[in-house]
Structure 1
Amino acid sequence: MRNRRPRVQTGRGAAMVETAVRFHVDNARRKLGAVNRAQAVARLVNQRLI
């Protein structure tokens, strides 16, 4: 049998990952001088970074 994590632990881990992603995306958005994620993506496309 596999050693599986209880659902509560998995949920907590997912919440922590979501919080970390939100934190880093917001930092990148601010560095680009964008008001929201859509504007940040548009700026990255205009700069040919993505």
Structure 2
Amino acid sequence: MGEYSYLASLKNKEFLILQKLCNNSIPQNQKEKLQKDLEETRNEIEKLG
């Protein structure tokens, strides 16, 4: 996978995580996991930027 495709997939993943975090009906432990995933995804995006 090219670097651009990888970056695009990371941005897509970031967007999907943010959508899930906007859902107020998810349990707190799931929100915490999503926040951790979001942080890791953003760190990976930053490395490529």
TM-score tier (shorter)? 0.3 to 0.5
Query: In proportion to residue count, which structure has more helix?
Result: 2
Q: When the two structures are superposed, what TM-score results if normalisation uses the length of structure 2?
A: 0.48
Q: When the two structures are superposed, what TM-score results if normalisation uses the length of structure 1?
A: 0.47
Greater relative contact order: 1 or 2 (C-alpha under 8 angstroms, separation 6 or more)? 2
Bigger Rg over Cα:
1
